[in-house]
A and B are shown apart, each in its own frame.
Chain A
Amino acid sequence: MTVLVYGIDALASTSNMGCIKASDRFNINSQLEHLQAKHVGTGHADLNRFEWAVNIQRDSYASYVGHYPILAYFAIAENESIGRERYNFMQKMLLPCGLPPEREDD
C-alpha cells in the first residue's frame, strides 16, 4: 500500500512539477548522502534505535581515546595502564553493541 502511494506521488511530481522539483529532491538527497559520507555519525529520519546506539557508542569510545585525561581517569579507576585502556576501547569499537537485530520486515 505504501509503495503504491509513494509511486503515485512520484509520478505526480515528475509529470506536474517538471524537472526542477525532481532535481531539487535529488539535490536534497544527494546532499544528505554527501553529509553522511563525510560525517558517519549523522542521522536521518529513518534511523532505528540500534543504528543510533552504535553511533553513540562509537562516538563515545572515540572521544575517550581522544582525550588523554579521560583515559588516565579510567586507567586509575580500573587499575589498568593507559595503553591497555586505549586498546580496549579501540577493540570495543568493532561491533560495540553486538550483532544488529534481525529486521522484522525482511
Chain B
Amino acid sequence: MASTDSEIANTQEERKKMEQQLASLTSVTFDVDLYGGGSDTRFDGYERSIAVNEDDDVPDAGESEVARKLASYTAPKSVLKEMPRGVGEDDNGGDLGGFKKPQKIIDREDDYRRRRLNRMISPDRNDAFAMGDKTPDVSVRTYADVMKEEALKREKEETLREIAKKKKEEEELKGKGGPERGSRDDGAAAAAAPSQKRRNRWDQNQELDGGAKKAKTLSSAAAAASSDWDMPDSTPGIGRWDATPTPGRAADATPSISRRNRWDETPTPGRVADADATPAAGGATPGATPSGMTWDATPKLAGTATPTPKRQRSRWDETPATMGSATPMPGATPAAAYTPGVTPVGGVDMATPTPGAINLRGAITPEQYNLLRWEKDIEERNRPLTDEELDAMFPQEGYKILDPPASYVPIRTPARKLLATPTPLGTPLYQIPEENRGQQFDVPKEAPGGLPFMKPEDYQYFGALLNEDEEEKLTPEEQKERKIMKLLLKVKNGTPPQRKTALRQLTDKAREFGAGPLFNRILPLLMQPTLEDQERHLLVKVIDRVLYKLDELVRPFVHKILVVIEPLLIDEDYYARVEGREIISNLSKAAGLATMIAAMRPDIDNIDEYVRNTTARAFSVVASALGIPALLPFLKAVCQSKKSWQARHTGIKIVQQIAILIGCAVLPHLRSLVEIIEHGLNDENQKVRTITALSLAALAEASAPYGIESFDSVLKPLWKGIRSHRGKVLAAFLKAIGFIIPLMDAIYASYYTKEVMFILIREFQSPDEEMKKIVLKVVKQCVSTEGVEADYIRSDILPEFFRNFWVRRMALDRRNYKQLVETTVEIANKVGVADIVGRIVEDLKDESEPYRRMVMETIEKVVANLGASDIDARLEELLIDGILYAFQEQTSDDANVMLNGFGAVVNSLGQRVKPYLPQICGTIKWRLNNKSAKVRQQAADLISRIAVIMTQCHEEQLMGHLGVVLYEYLGEEYPEVLGSILGALKAIVNVIGMTKMTPPIKDLLPRLTPILKNRHEKVQENCIDLVGRIADRGAEFVPAREWMRICFELLEMLKAHKKGIRRATVNTFGYIAKAIGPQDVLATLLNNLKVQERQNRVCTTVAIAIVAETCSPFTVLPALMNEYRVPELNVQNGVLKSLSFLFEYIGEMGKDYIYAVTPLLEDALMDRDLVHRQTAASAVKHMALGVAGLGCEDALVHLLNYGLFHPARKVREVYWKIYNSLYIGAQDTLVAAYPILEDEENNIFRRPELAILLFNCSVTVSFSCSLFSFIVDMVELFRAAVNSFDDQPFFVLKNYVGDGASSSSVSMLNDSMRVSNSISLCCIICEDGKVVKFLESEGARRGAWTKGIVLGVEMTIWASKGAPK
C-alpha cells in the first residue's frame, strides 16, 4: 500500500515538473509585432490622439467660439475638423469613408427578438368612440371578441399543457420498457425541453446587476434577461409551441377563428373573411396572409414537417386554411398566386425551376430567391467532370486510366443523392446546360414609371406595380391603393429627393387615403423578414407622420401598429428604441387612453412571454405619454388580477418599466406605485415575487435619494423574504434591498445593513455567477451608505469578502471583474487605503496574470481616490515591489492597466518614491533594451508617466541620463515604440526644461528632423509635439537653418489625417516664425499655396495667418498682397483665405489694415470666380466683426455696397438673400441700421426723427446769467459733450418756456428734476440744425442750477456716407 502511495506521489511530482516546463514554454513572449496576434487590439491602451491643449476632447460648442481671444494660435475648427481628401484616402482600409454596409435587422437579432415575427398583425378592431351608442356590427372585432379569443387561446394552452403532462407521465410509466420510442414520439417536446432549460439559465440573466444603468433603460440585455425570469417554471407546452415557428402559428389563428365560426350560433360570413382577407379590393390580406405567406412559402419549411399536418384536424379546421391558400385572388395580386401548396422544387420533369418563371410571377420570397441562386451555384460547381476536363487537369504520362469495378453502380436513387445537387432526374448522364442569356437571376425586372429599384423580396409587396397596363381598368379604390404602394416604394427604396416628396405626399394626403389602406400597406412591410435598419427607420417615420395627420382615425389600427412597433422597444439599437417610444407615445396621444388600454389589455396575459414583455414596455411609454395618474386605476386592477399570474406579472412589470423609463419623475406617484405592487412580494407565484422585487428595485433606483417613506410598507416583507427565499427570488429581493438602503437615514441604514449582511455573507459562497454579481452590488450599496461604520465593515465583512471574492476565478469574467473592483473601491472609501491595499498587495505577485491585473486596477483606483498617506513604510516597499513585478511580468496586449496603476501609485507616493527610482529606472533601462518591441514600448511609456514625479524627487541627473538613453534609441525601427520613445523624451523635456536637457537641444533637434518624415501617425504626432515644444521654448538653441529645414518637413505634415497633427503643425509654424523671423517662413508658405492639394493649401493659409498674428500683420501683409498678383486661381484664393483667417485672429488689430486691403477685396468681390467672392466675403465678415465700433464703418459700408448693388445680378441675388434673412430674423433691429438716404426732388427719403436728441445736460451757470447767454453756453456745452457732432451744423436753441408747455412731457421732466434736484434742459436738435425746441423747467425758473445728470440719451450716429445711389 505504502509503495503505491509513494509511486503516485512520484508520478504526480513528475507531472508537475513537466507542466511547469510546459508553462515556461508557453509563457515565452512572442514578438507580436512580428508574429501578429491581436494586432487590432494592440494599440487599444494608447491614447491615439494626444491632446495639444487640454480641451481637445471637449466637443466643439460652435464655430463662433473662435471669436474669443485666442489662447494659443490655432486654426479655426471648421478647417481642422475637415478630413483631408484625395491622396491617401484609399489606404484607410476598406472602410469606405465611414459608410456602413446596409445591414438587415434580422441578422443581428437573437432568437428572442426574432419572435416578433411570430406575431400576427391582427385584424382591425372596433372603434368604440366612433360607434356612439350603436351596437357594433357583428362583422367587426370588438374588445369582447378579442378578449374571448385570448381566453380561448389560454384555455387551449392549458389543455395542451395538461395533455403534454399526462403524456409525459404515461411516458415515464412506459419509460422503463421503451425509452427510445417514447422520446421519438414526443419529438417536439423533447426538443423543447433543453431549450427551456437553457432559457432558464442564470448566466443569461443580466437584468439583476444592470440596475445602475439608467441609460440602458430598455436595453437589449434587460429585454433578453427579463424574459428568462419570466418564463413559467413548468411549461413544457409553451416550449413546444414556440419551437414550431410561424407557419404553425399563423395557421393556428385560422382554425381558432373557424372553430368559433362553427360553434357560434350565428355564423357570419364576414368573420372568415376578416381573418383571411380583408375586403380591401384585390389585395392580399393586410395582416395575416402576407406574413403567413412569407413563411409558408419557404421551401425549407414546406419540406420539414410542421406540426400542423401532424395534428389530427377535423375537416372543419382544414377548410379555411386551404381555401386561404388556394383561392386565386382576384385582380393583380401575384403574391397570392404563389402559394405554399406549390413546392418550389417543381415536378420531376423540371427539377430546377427556372427562376425567371417565378420572377415573372412576381412572388418570390428572399429565402426562395437565395435558395435558387445558391442551388444554381452549387450545381455549377458540383457537376461531374468530363473526360476532356480530366485530361486537361492531369499530366499526360505516368497515369493509367482504370475501368470502374464491375460492381460499381452509380447512385440513381434520388433519396440518396445530396439534396443540394438536384441534377435533372430525367437525364442520368450529364448534359451541358444550355446557356440561357435571357435568364436574369440577379437583375430584377426594371421597375416602370420612374419607380425606384425593387429588391427581390419587395416583389411580394409591390409586385402589383409592375403590370402597368391595366391602370385604366382599376377602380378608384384600387388606384388609391396603387398610389400608396408607389409612394411607399419610393420612401423605402428611392433616392433622397424621391423619398422626401413621397413622404410629404403621404403625409398631406393621409386623411384622403384613409387609415385602413395606409396601414394595410405599411404594416406588413415592417414585418418583412429582410428589412434593413434604414428601411425600417423610414417606414417608422411614415407611420409617425401619418399618425399625426390621422389622429383619432387610427383607433381601429392601434393594435396592429403596436404589433409592429413594440419590437422596436427592445431593439439593441438605442435610436430604434427611442423611435419606438416616440411612435407609441404619439399613438397614445392620438388614440387616447381608453383605446390604448382596450388594444393592449388582451396582450397582458398573452401566453407568449415575448408579447407580455413588449406590451409591458409599451404600457410604460403610454404611462409616460398620458401621465401616470391616468393609468393608475388600470394598473391597480391588473396587478391584482386573480385570473392569471401572467396578468399580475405584466402589471408589475409595467411599473418596473415606468420607473426605468421616467426616472425621478416617478416621485410624485411613488407611494401609489409601491402600493399597487407590494402584495406581489407575497404572491403565490415565484415569478411574480421576483418581478415585484425587481420593480421595487427599479422604483428605488429611480427615486434615489428620496422617497424612503413610500417604501415603508415593503421593508418588512422584503427583509422577511430574504430569510425564507433562495435562488433567484432571493437575488431579486437582495437587489431591491440594495437599492432601498441608500435611501434610508443613517441609523436605519446601519440597522438594515446589519440585518441583511449575514444573508449576504452567507451568499458570498454561492457558486451562482448571477448571485455573486448581485451580492457584490448590494455590498457596494450598503457599504457606501452613511450609517455603516468602518469598524463594522472591517470586522464583519472584510474577512469573508476577501476570502470568497478575491480569488483568481473572479478575474476571468469581465463583469465579475468590474463589479468586484467597484465594490472593493467602495469599501476602501470607507475603511481606508491601508486595509485594502494591505490585503491584496501580495497578490500583485500572483501567478495568474488576469488576477494580477485586477489587483493592479483596484490598487490604482483606491490610491488615486484616497492618496497614499496611509501607506506605511513596509507596505510601501511591498507595493513598489509588487507593481514592479506585475509590470515586468505582463505579457498581455493590454498594457494600460499596468501603466496606469504604476503611474497612479508612483504619483500618489510622491517624494517617497525617491529611494526606489534608481531601481525603477534600472528596470526601465534594461527593458528598453529588450528584444521584444512590446516591452520596449511599455518601458518608454512608463517614463512619460513618472517623469513629473522624478523631478519632484530632484532626480534631474537620472532624467538626463534617461534622456540620453532615449536619444540613443531614436533609431528604433518599430514605429509604435519610436512614438513612445518620442513621447518619453517630450515628457522629460517638459519637466526639466530646455537648458538642462541632455542631450542638448542643439543635438536633439537635428536628430528629430528626419523623423518628421516618418508617416506613422503615432510617430508623427509625438514628434511634432516635441518639435513644437522646442520651437516654443528653446528655439534659440537651434540655428535658423535647421528651423528652415524643419519648415519644409512640416509642409508635408499638413497632409496628415489626424487633426491633432495638423493643428500641432500649424502651431509650430507660428513658433518657428517667431524664432527666426517671418520672412523665410512666409516665403516657404506662400510657395506652398501653389500646390494642388486643397487640404495642404488650407493648412498653409492657416499657417500664414498664424505667422501674421505672431509676428504682427505688417510683416506679412505686403508679401501676402503681392502674392495676390500671381495670376493663378489657387494662389489668389489662398491669399484671400489667409486674409480671412488673419483678420479672424488679429481681431481689433485689424482696424489699421482695413484700408490697406480694401482695394484687394474690391477686386476679389467682383471676381468672376465664385469662390473668390465667397472667400472675400468671409474675409470681410471677419474684418467687420473685429473692428466693430472702431470707426471703420465707411470702409465696411463701401464693401457691403459691392454686394447689394453689385453690377452682376448673380452676386446681388446672393447678397439680397442674406439681407432677407437678416430682415426676417431681426427686422426691428434693422431700423437703426438702415443707411441714410438723401431726399430727391419729389421724394422724401430721410428719417429726421431719428436724429432727435433729447438732452439733459449737466451745467452750472450763475444765477445772474441771462437766458440767452445760457443758451449760447449750452451750444458750446453740447459740442463738448458730444464729440462726434463736431462736424454737424451748430445748434440753435429756442426758449420754449411757459405757454402751452403744460403737456405731459413737461410734467415728466419736472418729475425727473425733482428727483435729481437739478435743472433739466430739453432740447430737440435736428440734424440740419434748423429747429430746436427748448424747454426750461419749473426748476430752472426757480433757479436751481446744480449739477444735472444725463438722462438716458441714446446716441446713434449715422454715417451719412456711402448710401447707395
Chain A residues packing against B (C-beta within 8 Å):
35, 39, 41-45, 47, 49-50, 53, 56-57, 59-60, 63-64, 66, 73-82, 96-99, 101
Contact = CB atoms under 8 A, between A and B. Distances in A.
Given A64-B1249, A97-B1244, A79 B1231 contact: no
B1243 A97 contact: yes
Given A44-B1216, A53-B1243, A101-B1242, A59 B1296 contact: no
B1304 A96 contact: no
Given A97-B1244, A97-B1245, A75 B1228 contact: no
Interface residues of B, number: 38
A70 B1224 CA distance: 22
B486 interface: no
Contact of A96 (B1213, B1220, B1244, B1364): B1244
Contact of A101 (B1243, B1296, B1365): B1243
Contacts of B260: none
B1245 A53 contact: yes
20 contacts: A42-B1219, A42-B1220, A43-B1216, A49-B1237, A49-B1365, A53-B1243, A56-B1237, A59-B1230, A73-B1252, A74-B1249, A75-B1305, A76-B1308, A77-B1252, A77-B1254, A77-B1333, A78-B1333, A79-B1300, A97-B1244, A97-B1245, A99-B1243
Of A43, A80, A96, chain B has the most CB atoms within 10 Å of the CB of: A43
B1212 A79 contact: no
Contact of A60 (B1209, B1250, B1301, B1365): B1250
B1000 to A, nearest CB: 66
Interface in B1213-1252: 1213, 1216, 1219-1220, 1223-1224, 1227-1228, 1230-1231, 1234, 1237, 1240, 1242-1245, 1247, 1249-1250, 1252
B1243 A98 contact: yes
A81 B1304 contact: yes
B1322 interface: yes
B1224 A43 contact: no
A45 B1208 CA distance: 9
A71 B1029 CA distance: 61
Contacts of A56: 1234, 1237, 1245, 1247
B1309 interface: yes
B1360 interface: no
B1234 A79 contact: no
Contacts of A42: 1219-1220, 1223-1224
A17 to B, nearest CB: 16
A56 B1250 CA distance: 13
Nearest to B1300: A79
B464 to A, nearest CB: 27
Contact of B1296 (A64, A79, A80, A99): A79
A61 B653 CA distance: 64
A39 B1245 contact: no
B1165 interface: no
A53 B1300 CA distance: 36
Contacts of B1252: 73-74, 77-78
A60 B1069 CA distance: 51
A74 B1231 CA distance: 16
B1324 interface: yes
Given A56-B1237, A56-B1247, A101-B1240, 15 more contacts: A35-B1224, A41-B1223, A44-B1216, A45-B1213, A75-B1304, A76-B1308, A77-B1324, A78-B1324, A79-B1296, A79-B1300, A79-B1335, A81-B1303, A97-B1245, A98-B1242, A101-B1242
Given A49-B1237, A76-B1305, A76-B1322, A57 B1242 contact: no
A60 B1223 contact: no
* Shortest Cβ-Cβ A-B pairs, 5 listed: A76-B1305, A45-B1212, A42-B1220, A63-B1231, A77-B1324
Contacts of A49: 1237, 1364-1365
Chain A at the B interface: mostly helix, strand, loop or mixed? helix
Contacts of A82: 1304
Nearest to A85: B1249
Contacts of B1305: 75-77, 79
A81 to B, nearest CB: 7
A42 B1305 CA distance: 37
Nearest to B1254: A77
Contacts of B1365: 49
A81 B1307 CA distance: 12
A44 B1217 CA distance: 7
Contacts of B1335: 79
Contact of A66 (B1216, B1228, B1244): B1228
Contacts of B1228: 59, 63, 66
B1218 to A, nearest CB: 10
A13 B1062 CA distance: 44
A59 B1324 CA distance: 23
B1247 A57 contact: yes
Nearest to B1212: A45
B1231 A59 contact: yes
Contacts of A78: 1252, 1324, 1333
A98 B1244 contact: yes
Of A60, A81, A96, chain B has the most CB atoms within 10 Å of the CB of: A60
A89 to B, nearest CB: 9
Given A53-B1245, A60-B1250, A74-B1252, A79 B1303 contact: yes
Nearest to B1244: A97
Contact of B1219 (A43, A73, A74): A43
A47 B1219 CA distance: 12
A79 B1249 contact: no
B1204 to A, nearest CB: 8
B1205 to A, nearest CB: 9
B1220 A79 contact: no
Contacts of A75: 1304-1305
B1216 A47 contact: yes
A21 to B, nearest CB: 14
Nearest to A89: B1249
Nearest to B1365: A49
A50 B1324 contact: no
A16 to B, nearest CB: 20
A76 B1312 CA distance: 13
Contact of A50 (B1230, B1243, B1308, B1309): B1243
Nearest to B1209: A45
A35 B1217 CA distance: 11
B1097 to A, nearest CB: 32
A78 B1300 CA distance: 12
Contact of A35 (B1220, B1247, B1322, B1364): B1220
Nearest to B1306: A79
Contacts of A99: 1242-1243
B1230 to A, nearest CB: 7
A43 B1220 contact: yes
Contacts of B1230: 59
A34 to B, nearest CB: 12
A38 to B, nearest CB: 8
A64 B1252 CA distance: 13
A53 B1237 contact: yes
Given A45-B1216, A53-B1237, A76 B1243 contact: no
Interface string B1296-1333: 10001101110011000000000000101000000001
B465 to A, nearest CB: 22
Contacts of A60: 1231, 1234, 1247, 1250
Contacts of B1234: 56, 59-60
Of B1209, B1252, B1365, chain A has the most CB atoms within 10 Å of the CB of: B1252
A21 B560 CA distance: 42
Contacts of A66: 1228
Contacts of B1324: 77-78
Nearest to B1331: A78
A79 B1243 contact: no
A37 to B, nearest CB: 13
Contacts of A97: 1243-1245
